[in-house]
Structure 1
C-alpha cells in the first residue's frame, strides 16, 4: 500500500510530481512560442492527450505515432499511424509551423534512427521543440529509480520487474528487458550532434539538469 500511495503521488495523480513537471514544461513551451495558439504543430511520437491537456492548444495538431489512432479524434487534430523516423511522403509535404517532440528521442532504437528522426524534425518546419530526459540526472525518469540508467542491462531488467514506481509496471522478464533496451538516455554532446543549429535549453530540478530541449525559434 505504501508503494501504491508513493506511485500515485509521483506518477499517476493529476497533481503528481510528474504531472507538475509536464505542466511546467508546457508553460515554458508557450513562453517560447507565444503564437502557438495560431500554429499547425506536428507532434512526432506523441499522443493526442498531450494537446487535450495543454495550457494553450494549437489551432491544428498532427500527431505521428506507431500506435493505432484513437477511435475519436477532435476536428482540430489529425492522428497519423506512421514511423517518425521514416515518414510517409504525404506527411513530409505537409505545411507545419512547429515540430514538437516530448520524451521520444530516447526510445527510437539507436543512433542511426535518432539521426533520421532529428533530420525529420529539422526539415518539417522552421521551428522545433524536441525534449529528452538528461542521462546524468540522478533519477532515471521512466522508473523513478535512483541511478538505474548506469546499471548493467541484467540489473536494470531485474529492477524494472520489481521496482514499483515505473510508468509501465511489468513482471515479465521479456517485457522488462524490452523496455530497458528501448530506453537510451542522451547527454548534451549527443543532442548538439543531432541538432547542431538549435539552442539547447536545460530543464532543471533542484538546480540539477533533468532534461534537454533542442529549440529553434
Structure 2
C-alpha cells in the first residue's frame, strides 16, 4: 500500500520507489532516514554495504533496525536456529520445522526465493556498516539479542 500524499497534504511526505543501494537523492538531502527490517533483504554483503553507504549519505539522522543473527528464533520463518543451517538445509527444512512452514505452507520455490533473499546481520557487521552510529541492541526476555538498531543523531 502506498502513501496517499493527497489525503494528507499537511504532512509534507514525499514517497518514491527506488533501489536503496543507489538512491537518486543529493547528499544529506533528508532530515531522517528510517528503515525497519529492510537491510537483511537487499542481497549480499556487498549489497548491504551499498545500502548502508547510501543511507548514511542521504540522511542527517538515521534509525535502521534489523533482526539479530544471534537471536535463537529466525523472525521470517519463526523457527529455532533455522538461519544457522546451511542454505541448502534451510530450503529443505523450512516447510517442515518452522511455524511459517506449518501455517502458510509455502511452495518450495517460495522457500528457495526467501532463503536466497535474506541475510541476517551480526552486531559486528551492523557496527561495520554504520561506523558513525550508535548500535543499540533490542533484547528478548531481557537477555537474547532480538534486533540491532543503527542510530545517529546529527550534530547541527
TM-score (norm. length: structure 1) = 0.61
Partner of 2:122: 187
The CA deviation string for residues 85-123 of structure 1, in whole angstroms up to 9 with x for no partner, is 1112xx336832111111111111111111111111111
Question: Which one of the candidate residues 122, 136, 146 is aligned to 1:201?
Answer: 136
Equivalent-residue separation in structure 2 for 1:122 and 1:211 (angstroms): 19
Partner of 2:2: 70
Partner of 1:80: 16
Report the secondary structure of 2:65's partner residue: strand
Question: Which one of the candidate residues 79, 85, 89 is aligned to 1:155?
Answer: 89
Report the secondary structure of 2:35's partner residue: strand
1:208 CA displacement: 1.2
Question: Which one of the candidate residues 50, 53, 67 is aligned to 1:116?
Answer: 50
Listed as ranges, the gaps of 5+ residues in structure 2 are: none
In the alignment of these two chains, the number of paired residues is 146
1:164 CA displacement: 3.5
Structure 2 residue 32 is matched with structure 1 residue 98 = yes
Listed as ranges, the gaps of 5+ residues in structure 1 are: 1-68
TM-score (norm. length: structure 2) = 0.83
Structure 2 residue 67 is matched with structure 1 residue 133 = yes
1:152 CA displacement: 1.9
RMSD: 2.2
Q: Cα–Cα, structure 1 residues 164 and 209, in superposed 2: closer, same or farther, change >3 Å?
A: closer
Equivalent-residue separation in structure 2 for 1:109 and 1:122 (angstroms): 18
Report the secondary structure of 1:97's partner residue: strand
The CA deviation string for residues 149-184 of structure 1, in whole angstroms up to 9 with x for no partner, is 111222211233343436x94532121111011111
Q: Cα–Cα, structure 1 residues 170 and 85, in superposed 2: closer, same or farther, change >3 Å?
A: farther
1:197 CA displacement: 1.1
Equivalent-residue separation in structure 1 for 2:79 and 2:109 (angstroms): 20
Partner of 1:144: 78
